[in-house]
Structures are given as C-alpha cells and as structure tokens.
Amino acid sequence: MPVKNRFAELLPEITEWRRDLHENPEILFDTHRTSKVVADRLRDFGCDEVVEGIGRTGVVGVIRGKTDGGRVIGLRADMDALPIHEQTGKEYASKTAGAMHACGHDGHTAMLLGAAKYLAETRNFDGTVVVIFQPAEEGGGGGKEMCDDGLMDRWNIQEVYGMHNWPGRPVGSFAIRPGAFFAATDQFDITLEGRGGHAAKPHEVVDTGVMAAHLITALQTIVSRNADPVDQIVVSVTSMESSSKAFNVIPQRVHLKGTVRTMSTAMRDLAERRIREISDGICGTFGGAAEVAYHRGYPVMVNHEEQTDFAAEVAREVSGDCETAPLVMGGEDFAFMLEERPGAYILVGNGDTAAVHHPEYDFTDEAIPAGCSWWAGIVERRMPAA
C-alpha cells in the first residue's frame, strides 16, 4: 500500500484547505473559526455524525464502514496555533498579528480532513472511524478536556492514533518508537524572600540575588548528582525577575521560573522533591526563605507496543521504511488519550525546514499524501472489509 493515488489527486484541494487554516491561526481553545471549518467539511464529506463542542471547541466526526464489525478506531489531529509573529513571507502567511501555525497543526488538520474525505467516499472497512480534531495542544491540555468530556466512552473508541510532522526528516518518511516517547512537562515558580536594602550596605541585607545565583547552579545537581545517569531529565531555569529595577538596590524578592522534563514518574517525583529541598536549603543558608509552586503539566506520552508495531507496518507500506524515532523531551498532550486507550503516535517527515516553534517554520504540503495514506491505512488494515 504505497501512497494512495486518490490523495495525489486530492493534494491541490487539501493544500488549499491547509493554507486557509495557516492564514487564519487561532490559539488554545479559541479555535472557533477552525472548528467550524472542520465541522462543515466533515458534514460535506457525508460523515454519519458530526459533533462540535467536545472539550470546549473540539470536533468529532464519525464514519461507519460497509459493515459494523464492532471495532472503533480514533484518529486525532490538533488544530491550535502558537502566539508567535510569523516571518515566513509566504503569500498565505498569517493574517493575525502575533499568531501563526508554527508547529504544523494546520497540516495535521488538513491531512486528517483529507483522510476523512477518502474514508467517507470509499468506506472500504469493517467498523467505525472517529476522527478527532482537538484544540489547545500547545499548553492548554485540550486532549485532557476532550477525554474529560467523555470522548472515549461516548463513541466506544478502542484504539487511538496520532501524528506529528518532523522537520529534518525526509518529506513523507516516518519514525516511531514504543514506550515512553515524549516527555512529561512540568513548570515551577520559586519566590525567594530576603531583606532588601542599599547595595552599598550588603551587611544589612539578606541578598536574594546571591540566593538566586546559588540556587540556579544548585538546581543543576538534580540532573548531575541525584538522577540515575541513564534516566532522562532536564531542569531549566528560564526566567529571573527581581523586585528592584535600580542599580543600587538589593531586591527584597526574586522570582524564578523554569521547566522540568522527565520520562518517568519516578524522575518526575524526584525532581519536584529536590527542587523544594534545595530551594529551602539554599535560601535558609543565606537567611532568606523560598516559596515553591510546582505545576504538573502533560504526562509522559507512552506508545503502546502492539499498536506501535502495527503503525510502523502501515508506515513502511506507505513510504518503504519506518525508522526508530529518538526520545523527545518536548511534551505532547496526546499522552492523555494514550492513558485512556491503547494506541500510537508517529512522526512524518517535513523536510529541511525551520524547526517547529520558529517564526520561519512552515508545514511542507508535499508530505500530505503520505500522512493521509498512513491514516487511511491504519483504518483499512486494522478493520479490513469482509
């Protein structure tokens, strides 16, 4: 099953859909236009059921096969953009200042729409397909919202599959791995409290700047001296802001922000515990105090082994090969769906482009037939028509 001829025929139309979405990016749950476009197209395709408002602004389409064998498969794409000002210079560049599809969700949505159109036309499968269009992947937890809204149980979804484009891989090629794939993504806020005063009288103050400097360095020992070297963990302090903006005032307060990325619950627990202990210890040493807020974000995204093997087989049929993907320390809220149902998440090559989350990034339209063919192949191979 190489790339399906039907998707080569549909490429200009799907590209037009993708570029329209690219011109009109929407952030987090505010995907009102995008969701309407998706729902209207699914109805035009003849889907048996189209439901809006799942997970606030998510859209679900149901396509039944020639017969009902009882199996139900979910296919998920994300719809939201990022708060980045586009710098691609493309004729279809974002028309919304400060927002752009810098991660390729416009491509994911367009490819799943293309697959849905084909599956509604042919219905060459025995079972039911649920196409899932999710808002707020970029930090909003839209996948969890859709699950909390009863996505899996309402449509009796038994397996679920997702996809992400990947710059640096040849266009239309695939890569996947079983088990932990994308990292858990947590955030921390640390407020350091000291005693401010004149910079010329350091003996009269409790210097939060010194505390912050020691703390930023000490937090790196979580990775270098607390974690097992074979475990994956990243601790990054990404922001430091003091209560003083003057050159001659030692601040009363310093606020640090950062992120923790881990591939296991054990490392996640270790990181949270040590951040609290180290913050209290460092600040106490200098006579100050620390207040730590630790926010758990997306969990580790774990591909299920049997579904991963199957997804790789379909990818090899489409492109001739499917490589083992590297571990990714970025987060992906498809993790919530994989916690509820077995499934797999795959990478499709976007070619030699700017990295995702970059203002010059753009999805490569030539990858569309491969992505559509993989989604259609998941359905037709997993639920073959009698």
Find out whether 322 is annotated in a ligand binding site.
no
Angstrom distance (rounded) from CA 86 to CA 18: 16
Find out whether 357 is annotated in a ligand binding site.
yes
Angstrom distance (rounded) from CA 348 to CA 330: 16
Q: Is 99 helix (H, G, I), strand (E, B) or coil?
A: coil
Find out whether 147 is annotated in a ligand binding site.
no
H-run or E-run covering 198:
strand 197-198
Contacts of 226 (CB under 8 A, 6+ apart): 270, 274
Q: Is the dihedral of CA 275, 281, 283, 284 positive or negative?
A: positive
Angstrom distance (rounded) from CA 346 to CA 341: 16
**CB count, 10 Å around CB of 329?**
16
- Supply 91's token pair: 């004729």
Find out whether 105 is annotated in a ligand binding site.
yes
Angstrom distance (rounded) from CA 369 to CA 113: 12
Whole-angstrom Cα Rg for the chain: 24
Is residue 255 exposed (0-12), middle (13-18) or buried (19+ Cβ within 10 Å)?
A: middle
- Supply 333's token pair: 């809220």
Residues paired with 289 in a beta bridge: 193
Dihedral-angle region of residue 252 (phi above 0 means left; psi in -120 to 50 means alpha; beta otherwise): alpha
- Supply 187's token pair: 């955030």
Binding residues for Mn(2+): 103, 105, 138, 164, 357
- The annotated binding site is made up of 103, 105, 138, 164, 357
